[in-house]
Structures are given as C-alpha cells and as structure tokens.
C-alpha cells in the first residue's frame, strides 16, 4: 500500500510542477496548440478542435523521458 501512496505523491508532484510551468510561462506557450497539423474548424454554432500535431509532440517528449528514466535505473 505504501508503494501506491508513493506513486500517487510522485504523480501529483509532477502534475504540480507541470502546472506551475504552464502557469508561469504564460504567453511563451501560445504556439502549442497552433501547430501545423492541428485541426480547427469553427462555424456559427459549431466548433471542432483536434490537436494531432501537438499530441504527437507531447507523446514524443514523454516517450523520450520515460526511455531516459528507464535507461538510468
């Protein structure tokens, strides 16, 4: 049970750090979500947004981080 508690605290700490980075970086991250490949359709009464390129970027970065962590331990 203690292992689960440690993992939850670590996960919460990571989410807190990412949230602080996003909060304090402000307008420096405006490019994220507006990459070529992100689909945005806006019409009267209808709005659709699918961030394909942004999620591929996030997936690549997270995969690289996980690979590095596994390589170190």
Residues 36 and 69 in one domain: yes
Using a cut of 0.85, tell me whether the model's pTM lies above it: no
Residues 46 and 57 in one domain: yes
Residue 57 has a pLDDT of 94
Residue 13 has a pLDDT of 92
33 close to 51: Cβ distance less than 8 angstroms: yes
How far, rounded to the nearest angstrom, does the alpha carbon of residue 37 sit from its chain's CA centroid?
17
**Is it the case that residue 6 has pLDDT exceeding 80?**
yes
Residues 39 and 50 in one domain: yes
Residues 71 and 46 in one domain: yes
Residues 8 and 41 in one domain: no
Residue 33 has a pLDDT of 84
Question: Model confidence over 12-70: pLDDT tens digits?
Answer: 998 999 899 889 987 888 888 889 999 999 999 999 999 999 999 999 999 998 899 88
Query: Which domain, by its residues, includes 6?
Result: 1-28
Residues 23 and 42 in one domain: no
Domain count, the chain: 2
């Amino acid at each position: 049970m203690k292992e689960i508690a440690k993992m939850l605290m670590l996960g919460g700490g990571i989410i807190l750090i990412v949230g602080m980075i996003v909060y304090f970086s402000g307008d420096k991250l405006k490019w994220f979500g507006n990459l070529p490949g992100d689909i945005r359709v806006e019409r009267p009464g209808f709005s659709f947004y699918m961030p394909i390129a942004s999620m591929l970027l996030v997936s690549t970065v997270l995969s690289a981080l996980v690979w590095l962590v596994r390589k170190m331990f």
